[in-house]
């Protein structure tokens, strides 16, 4: 094998002990079994409590994914207040609270308030001492009602609409042109106000 020009002469190292650094995965079936047993032990330890904590329904980030609804970190203080649940009480009954999150839309807030109310209606709080139930504990027939450990499912992001004919008004509507006009109006709103104020000031000076 010949070499041309002023290139580096290769000095390949093939005597590395690579066999001792190979990552194997022979414990995968054993780990699978251990994880399953751990899940069963955790579920048994929780008793009749839900397997997962209740989290809010939020929109995913960016324009690409905001059509999807996913679970958020925790409910806002405003959502809890509107649903009539205290922040300390919420943590005790399996509701996650996030004091940093803010509600950016009334629709999103209403959705989570309804979610909290539905959870509260289904909630059964067993008293520690059956003879002396505390305030907020379930009593009577509620304690014998059937229970489920599955949490509330996320709402459907799409509202199905029945098929209908397109109206003439919708047919004539130009969405692209409307968006461009609204964007331009918003962009030049400040300059327009300045121009109008200047014009009004000039007219007032002429009258003097």
Cβ neighbours of 27 (radius 10 Å): 9
Write the pLDDT tens digit of every residue in 143-196. 767 777 788 899 998 888 899 999 999 999 999 999 999 999 999 999 999 999
121, 22 contact by CB (below 8 A):
no
| Cα 133 from chain centroid (whole Å) | 35
pLDDT band at 142 (very low <50, low <70, confident <90, very high): low
Helix H or strand E segment including 70: strand 69-71
pLDDT band at 8 (very low <50, low <70, confident <90, very high): confident
User: Which residues in 94-113 are b (16+ Cβ under 10 Å) and which e?
Assistant: bbbbeeebebeeeebbebbb
Give the Å distances, CA to CA, from 148 to 4, 123, 152, 168: 77, 10, 10, 51
**What does the block give as tokens for 107?**
């629709």
Mean pLDDT of 108-124: 92
Whether 1 has a pLDDT exceeding 70, the answer reads: no
**What does the block give as tokens for 97?**
């609270």
Beta bridge partners of 97: 75
């Amino acid at each position: 094998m010949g070499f041309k020009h002023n290139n580096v002469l290769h000095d390949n190292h093939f005597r590395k002990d690579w066999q001792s650094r190979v990552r194997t995965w022979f414990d995968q079936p054993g780990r699978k079994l251990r994880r399953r047993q751990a899940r069963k032990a955790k579920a048994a330890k929780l008793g009749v409590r839900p397997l997962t904590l209740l989290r809010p329904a939020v929109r995913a980030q960016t324009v690409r994914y905001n059509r999807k609804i996913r679970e958020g970190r925790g409910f806002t203080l405003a959502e809890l207040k509107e649903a009539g649940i205290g922040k300390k009480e919420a943590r005790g009954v399996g509701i996650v609270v996030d004091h940093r999150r803010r509600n950016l839309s009334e629709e999103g807030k209403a959705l989570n308030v309804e979610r909290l109310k539905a959870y509260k209606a289904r909630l059964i709080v067993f008293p520690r001492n059956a003879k002396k139930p505390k305030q907020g504990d379930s009593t009577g027939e509620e304690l014998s009602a059937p229970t489920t450990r599955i949490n509330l499912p996320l709402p459907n992001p799409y509202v199905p609409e029945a098929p209908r004919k397109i109206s003439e008004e919708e047919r004539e509507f130009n969405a692209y042109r409307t968006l461009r006009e609204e964007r331009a109006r918003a962009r030049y709103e400040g300059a327009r106000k300045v121009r109008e104020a200047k014009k009004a000031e000039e007219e007032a000076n002429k009258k003097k």
